[in-house]
Chains A and B, each alone.
Chain A
Amino acid sequence: MASGVTVADACKKVYEEIKKDKKHRYVVFHIKDEKQIDIEVIGERNSTYDLFLEDLQKAGPQECRYGLFDFEYTHQCQGTSESSKKQKLFLLCWCPDTAKVKKKMVYSSSYDALKKSLVGVHKAFQATDHSEASQEVIEEKLRSTDRQ
């Protein structure tokens, strides 16, 4: 909101659905008319990360997007034989280099508003290209805070 962009209530609603009810796998947000962050795409529960990235870039190389993904991975704590399944929600700000600086500006400055409105997101990343948004990189970042 620092940029005057607000977060639609629908965003919070869908966030609750994905966080508590696990009804969706991911959500893609966009800034509508430079005023409000709204929902663009809601991914099915059985969707994959690749589909998520695809939806993020669907609008074109000049567009920025926010993405919310419920990332699942297995984690084996050190000294234990059992591996636990972990689910972590993370936010991603997709701002490709090919996007206009002004648009990047709006998204980056409005990112805080989204982060604050979606309480409980473990991590928030920024990505400008595929190398920064790949599943491996994301997983590594998410694992970084897990106990070894």
Chain B
Amino acid sequence: MYVCAPAFMATSQFGKRRPSAFSASLTSRSALQSLHRVSAQAREHNFFEGGLTHDWITHYEKQISSDQSCLNEWNAMDSIESRRPPSPDSLRTKPSEREETERVIRSALKEIMMSVDLDEVTSKFIRGRLEETLDMDLGEYKPFIDQEMLTVLGQMDAATRIFPHVYLGSEWNASNLDELSRNGVRHILNVTREIDNFFPGSFNYLNVRVYDDDKTDLLKHWDNTYKYITKAEQEGSKVLVHCKMGVSRSASVVIAYAMKAYNWSFKKALDHVQSKRTCIKPNKHFILQLETYQGILAAMKNREKLQRSKSETNLVATSGLITPPNSPKKALDTPRSQSEGDKDATPPDRLDKENEPVVPSPPTRLMPPKLLDISGYDLMKCGGRPKSWSPENNFATDILTSSTLLSQSLEKINTDKITVEVEVEVPNIPPAPPLPPFEAHKYNVSVFMPCGNGLRSYSVSQNKIVQLQPATPPPPRPSSVKLRVNELESSGISNSCSGSITSSSTGGCTSSPDRKSTTDPGRNLVLNLTTQFEGVVASSSAANSPSDDNVLVNKPLPAESPKFSRIAVNRPPSIAVCTAQKRDGGDLFSSRLDRVFEREERKQCREPLDHQSTAVVSAGDVSRQNSWSSYDSAVVLRDVISRHSSWGSCDTRTLPSRNSSWGSYDVRPTMQYVSERGEKPVVNSTAAAAVPKTAADEPCYRPAKRPKQKDQQKLLLPNCYSSSPTLGLQGASHKLANRATASQPNISGLGNTAVTASCNNKHSSLVRSLKEEFEAKAGDVVEKPSRKNSSGGGGGSSAEDDGTGTEHVKSLPTSPVSEHPKVTQRPSPAASMEDLSVRKLVGKYENGRARSKTFVQDSGCPRNPHYQQPPVPPRVSSLDVTAIGPRKFECNPVVKTVVLPIQQSDIRASVNRAANNKLQQGKSHPLTKLSFK
């Protein structure tokens, strides 16, 4: 209410001076908004007469001690044509002879009329009988007698009992105190304008003051009449609904009540009332209104459904945004890893070990916790959708585990169906990350899970995904587990790695995710380096970056998948993953726009998206990493990313959301992600390169380390965030063993896809050239990856890479675990370094090719970088997959070499700086980039 004044003033200002028009309009709008808020609050809290908040009214009502006659005068209504008889009080005070006579006449008349056949009697006959009974000349009372005759006649028709608590009657029924009290009526609903309330003090009245004509809008009163009748019923009272004759207005009211109270159709209600009171005849306009009311009630019944469907559609839209499978997987993995990490010590350790090589994690750790917490809290406050934020995922994992995680993971995973799958799997079997081959199934599962659990936008992506999912989801888990086990068993190297991580297949899975993650970072780095070196067009870089981001999330998974895919099973999944990724990509494209809008619209959505976006950013960072810095650019990148293949979309989503609306939050996540991304990119690259195992393992280890560390610190949220970013990219770390496993499958699928699709995408142009260059530069590195691949010999380039990767992974997991804390820092720097210091890295690679070889073998991180390049190709999509795949792999090795040196030294510092800058300024990417450079 207060708002009004300002609003009006604002409008007045608007009229007076144009300059202030904008502010004025704003003011008025804010005023309107305030009014709206107040009214909404009033509705919410029942601030209405009769509501709980208006008890004070009854208090004052009790204070009224005036005579009923005074109250009647006070409550006198206009347009009254049928007035109640003079009150007993007035009669008492001055009992005129005439009134006394009338009273006698009334009683006598009633007796007479009760004894005659009303159908045949005439008023003259009755008057004669009356005169005879009273033995007096009633000539002067003739008008009165005529009126009384009609009244008595009307009262002869008893009110009709339509329902046990509802009587339908006429004016005369309303004036018949005997009948009312006999029926137990205490509430009278007077649906007339011309008839007075006959017993204002004795009954509870509700007046609907309308005439019975065409213009009367009874429809708007039916809600109140329904409430009144319902209230009377609850009080154990009876309601007399009356109008003049109880035929049209009151009958319409009763029919409307029957329709609403008993969910009857208009026809049924009309028939029911008519069967009870045959004389009812609502006028045709009331009938039209009743038909309208029927439609309204039907709409009300469907409101829930509509809302659900609406929410579902929203979910679908969001899911579309989420579609980017790779990054989401990582995000999902991270949350799981965190949550799981707390639960399961082994997986975290593995992850940590894996992470160590990557190192970049430290800055991310620092940043992530705060960012993560904030984001999580914000999300919580918003009460909206958890979306992609890892913190929520962590919470969810901690609290609800399955449902929230799923929804969150989906959001985070937006781009990656795999992530979703991972989440799904996690809830069921956290430690057992679905094998890469099963990723498609997982995707499906994940899709379903988000829909069911989250209800949020994820469903959209799910929808897209759903097509893939339906058959896959249930089978994937078991199959994935089996496959994983098989894979683990089949791949001695992988087994060894898995063994180190966990005794069971789940452990293998975790390790594989880690590997993937490591590989992704490497790839990202490679990509970044390539982009930076070549100065690829922004679009190409953006595309690469998105792909990288995707790679980070997706590719890492693919990388894992390759590792897993070393086994025959893994390959198929990877293929499925590739298809899924492609699909995701399509989803991402369409969904990216939707996501962007949704992000803007929904902060919560944004948060989850941010995770994805962060992943995207990381991807973008890969290309952008050079510039890291600018989240603004990231925003732009988002668009670009969205344009880019599905991979990019996820990343872009996260980035844009953070950049645009989230600001600091976004930036922070991005920072974390960046560090994570750094890792992730490596993983992706590794995955894409098929070398993934080594590289992926390293990244994964890094994330794992992070989660472990976080867990140790008991910073669940931060962990989740940091983990989520890492998860998205590194996935394995946050999700730890369980999620890591889940992510791995996804990754594997992604990796395969990444290898194919990403390679294709990246290969499209610049990427290929860059890769080639990298390869040329890091010939040694390439050789190493190739060696690894050959050793894996799983199948195709990816299989080969896997083979190599598996070996490295084995070595890596252990080492990373021990080094985790340090390594985590290293990885993030490495990632950043990769982006920022691509040139340096290139130089390093060239110089330290031997190192890269060693690194690749030892940590697999170097391989990851190589793999990162492949992720970019994935964006290009699957066209060039086969041909490009090898190239990417080669490139990845080079990247790996570069990455390793960077990580150890410059990368950490640069990454940390960038992260800090990002945290502080949110959009300081350029600066960070500069500093890195």
* A residues in contact (CB < 8 Å) with B: 1-4, 6, 62, 95-102, 104-105, 108-109, 112-113, 116-117, 128
Contact = CB atoms under 8 A, between A and B. Distances in A.
Nearest to A100: B122
B118 A101 contact: yes
A119 to B, nearest CB: 11
Contacts of A108: 150
Contacts of B149: 101, 104
A101 B245 contact: no
B305 to A, nearest CB: 39
A128 B248 contact: no
A104 B280 CA distance: 19
B245 A99 contact: no
A88 B121 CA distance: 36
B153 A2 contact: no
B146 to A, nearest CB: 6
Contacts of A116: 211, 213
A104 B122 CA distance: 9
B244 A112 contact: yes
B496 to A, nearest CB: 93
Contacts of A101: 113, 118, 121-123, 126, 149-150, 153
Among all A-B residue pairs, the 7 with the closest Cβ atoms: A2-B244, A97-B124, A4-B281, A4-B247, A1-B212, A3-B245, A2-B245
B127 interface: yes
Interface string B628-640: 0000000000000
Given A101-B153, A105-B154, A116-B213, A4 B245 contact: yes
A100 B283 contact: no
A97 B127 CA distance: 9
A35 to B, nearest CB: 9
Contacts of A109: 150, 154, 244-245
Contact of B123 (A4, A117, A128): A128
Interface centre among B153, B213, B245, B283 (most CB of A within 10 A): B245
A105 B615 CA distance: 83
B131 to A, nearest CB: 12
A105 B150 contact: yes
Given A112-B194, A113-B212, A2 B243 contact: yes
B119 interface: yes
A117 to B, nearest CB: 8
B142 interface: yes
A2 B123 CA distance: 22
B174 to A, nearest CB: 13
A100 B127 CA distance: 12
Contacts of B245: 2-4, 109
Nearest to B128: A97
Contacts of B192: 2
A4 B154 contact: no
B121 A100 contact: yes
Given A4-B247, A101-B121, A113-B212, 10 more contacts: A2-B244, A3-B247, A4-B245, A4-B248, A4-B281, A62-B122, A100-B120, A101-B126, A109-B245, A128-B146
Interface centre among A97, A99, A101, A105 (most CB of B within 10 A): A101
A10 to B, nearest CB: 16
A106 to B, nearest CB: 10
B277 to A, nearest CB: 11
Interface string B242-262: 011101110000000000000
B279 interface: yes
A96 B121 CA distance: 13
Contacts of B248: 1-2, 4
Interface in B79-137: 81, 113, 118-124, 126-127
Contacts of B153: 101-102, 105
Interface string B190-221: 00101000000000000000011100000000
A22 to B, nearest CB: 27
Given A6-B283, A116-B213, A102 B118 contact: yes
A116 B81 CA distance: 13
A100 B124 CA distance: 9
A102 B122 CA distance: 8
B346 to A, nearest CB: 84
Given A1-B283, A2-B243, A109-B245, A102 B119 contact: yes
A123 B32 CA distance: 49
Given A100-B120, A102-B153, A105-B153, A2 B212 contact: yes
A99 B119 contact: no
23 contacts: A1-B212, A2-B212, A2-B247, A2-B249, A98-B122, A98-B123, A98-B124, A100-B121, A102-B118, A102-B119, A104-B123, A104-B146, A104-B149, A104-B150, A105-B150, A105-B154, A108-B150, A109-B150, A109-B244, A112-B81, A113-B213, A116-B213, A128-B146
B150 to A, nearest CB: 6
A2 B283 CA distance: 9
A1 B193 CA distance: 13
Nearest to B213: A116
Contacts of B81: 112
Contacts of A102: 118-119, 153
Contacts of B154: 105, 109
A64 to B, nearest CB: 11
B245 to A, nearest CB: 5
Contacts of B243: 2
A101 B283 CA distance: 25
Given A2-B247, A102-B118, A97 B123 contact: yes
A4 B123 CA distance: 23
A147 B153 CA distance: 40
A114 to B, nearest CB: 11
Contact of A100 (B119, B146, B211, B279): B119
Nearest to B247: A4
B286 to A, nearest CB: 10
B150 A4 contact: no
B142 A99 contact: no
B212 A99 contact: no
Contacts of B121: 100-101
